Chain A
């Protein structure tokens, strides 16, 4: 009898411990109102401007909010961001603020599962909705299926070039793709790397493919792929990948493009090793860094991605986006986090411009004097832009985005053909 009791007790004990351990491993599993003891922000490490602006707000305009709920920034490499978000969301361990995933599809998924705050509702409730520029909201809604992210940046993308090299080598600012290729050839003849680009990140290369498609097929080129009306393996799409692969084959990206990181690519342009640099206007903060920028701020020019002869698109359709925005955990919304959010909405526009030379989608509530000429040009181009286009992977799934960006370097180094590249990405879209 006693032995049976011991055996039963042992069994119940083991079962209880198992259930306890499994429950502990299972995360919170949902429900609202997780206790928030810090204003935790999980930001991709490359986005140093967001980190700097948040820190500046915590020490300046949002001091009282920071005292009530201290800011804690944690960083993650952008290439690991999607993995981390999925793991943390699965464990119910998302922080208060976090960088939206590389693929907008991930943010949509997180929103559908109740992990993303509805900023339309919250900012309206806080009477702060007017602090956000409507154009930025509309860009976010187009990408993320709702006002699911904060436009901490509002960027245009294009090709930044070294004015002195263009003058010295007699290069006119290219208006067509062929002129761009000629400019690259001239730079290379003069021992200057034509394009500085990070193959390690991949996206600076696939941006070229996307822009070529927007110029050759038109601004709806990738919407047609997302809608299933066209495939990336169609000849007119492969042509874009081939055009970029040809740049690589000619050596215009320099040696070892697959090993070049984001920082190295920026440095190559800013130390004069490279003559052109496709990047978003978030790079303005790097350009303004006098220690990093050895070629001079005034020596940098901007050109939109050029036209492709006979193409349906044109260079007035500028690539615009909100960078890699930051979103908020819906389960963390409470009085303190709302106070922080209200303060961010009111002050981000001004602080980002003064602290990080960054144009954002927030209204600049306090006029900023002495805006640098290049920054002013970006602001003017944003204001003048009548139609914006997105980027190559904007409408792709997470898997297709990863495939595209990891195979960009092999494409330009000649390890895979343009057809193979497009087939690999299309396979993940099917």
Chain B
């Protein structure tokens, strides 16, 4: 194996095609987009150099501030929801359902494979108030409560988004974390039990520390996915009412492709990229701590 990988020509032949495709579809657009941040204009009217003006505008733009706040709020809430419920599901699979967990795993995983737009439409109908009540409002009416215009207010629309996205993805995190939990040696668990660790104590002192690597992976998956949320919000609320559920991605999309401001849109994209990088580095650094040492 070593002689093969030691030959630069062989390495180039093996890695070259993939590297070329990756460069063309990922690196070139990223660098290209970075270049746009110093320009204003679009593909129709052309571009003119504006230096750092786009970054200056970012600082004072209330729409960016609102979108950034929504993005961070969404990422935090959904990440906690996805990973926490996913972890609880994985504990359920391993310690309660054990070998009979496959049918539950399949059912809970099912929403993951549904198209996002279909799920968005489903939840729109579930929480509808016009032209007629959806299931949720009908349910409220049964108990004498008034119908709620879930999509008429930013806070309630956010709640629906959170419920939908957690429901949609908890099965994925359940399976991901389940894979980590089944790797914990049975002997370790057995000896912990013999030492008197059961229930919550077993989970806190043995299971969580030993599943920390996969938990960190799940957190990084989740935080990066939620920071870049686009399709589910677009399908469910289109960023509304007004712009109260518009994350940075939708603002970037509208700025670039509705308002024709490619440069400013790219600056918003760069801001989002930097946030993803900072958050990922922060999680990596935090995860270096040895959880087994309390």
Q: Is the interface of A mostly helix, strand, loop or mixed?
A: helix
Name which of B62, B242, B253 has the most chain A CB atoms within 10 A of its CB: B242
Complex contacts, A14 vs chain B, CB 8 Å: 16, 20
Q: In residues 4-50 of chain B, which contact A (Cβ within 8 Å)?
A: 9, 12, 16, 20, 23-24, 28, 42-45
Q: Does A268 belong to the interface (CB within 8 Å)?
A: yes
CA distance A257 to B130 in the complex (A): 7
CB-contact partner of B241 in A18, A115, A254, A413, under 8 A? A413
CA distance A413 to B154 in the complex (A): 11
Interface string of A246-265 (1 = CB under 8 A from B): 00000000111111100010
Name which of B151, B253, B259 has the most chain A CB atoms within 10 A of its CB: B259
The number of residues on chain A lying at the interface, defined by a beta carbon within 8 Å of a beta carbon of chain B, is 46
Complex contacts, A416 vs chain B, CB 8 Å: 242
Complex contacts, A257 vs chain B, CB 8 Å: 130, 152
CA distance A399 to B264 in the complex (A): 13
Contact in complex: A254, B130 (CB < 8 Å): yes
Q: Does B153 belong to the interface (CB within 8 Å)?
A: yes
Q: In residues 29-53 of chain A, which contact B (Cβ within 8 Å)?
A: none
Contact in complex: B243, A406 (CB < 8 Å): yes
Q: Smallest Cβ distance from A394 to chain B, in angstroms? A: 17
Complex contacts, A255 vs chain B, CB 8 Å: 129-130, 147, 149
Q: A22-B28, A256-B152 are in contact. Are A267 and B130 (CB under 8 A)?
A: no
CB-contact partner of B16 in A10, A91, A409, under 8 A? A10
Q: Smallest Cβ distance from A401 to chain B, in angstroms? A: 9
Q: A14-B20, A115-B44 are in contact. Are A407 and B130 (CB under 8 A)?
A: no
Contact in complex: A86, B257 (CB < 8 Å): yes
Complex contacts, B9 vs chain A, CB 8 Å: 3, 6
Q: Does A223 belong to the interface (CB within 8 Å)?
A: no
Residues of B within 8 A of A (CB): 9, 12, 16, 20, 23-24, 28, 42-45, 62, 124, 128-131, 147, 149, 151-154, 238-244, 253-254, 257-261
A-B contact pairs, 17 of them (CB 8 A): A6-B9, A14-B20, A83-B258, A89-B43, A90-B42, A90-B43, A256-B128, A259-B128, A259-B151, A264-B130, A267-B131, A402-B259, A407-B243, A413-B153, A415-B152, A415-B153, A415-B242
Besides the known contacts A10-B16, A90-B43, 6 further A-B residue pairs in the complex with CB atoms under 8 A apart: A83-B258, A260-B130, A264-B131, A399-B258, A399-B261, A415-B152
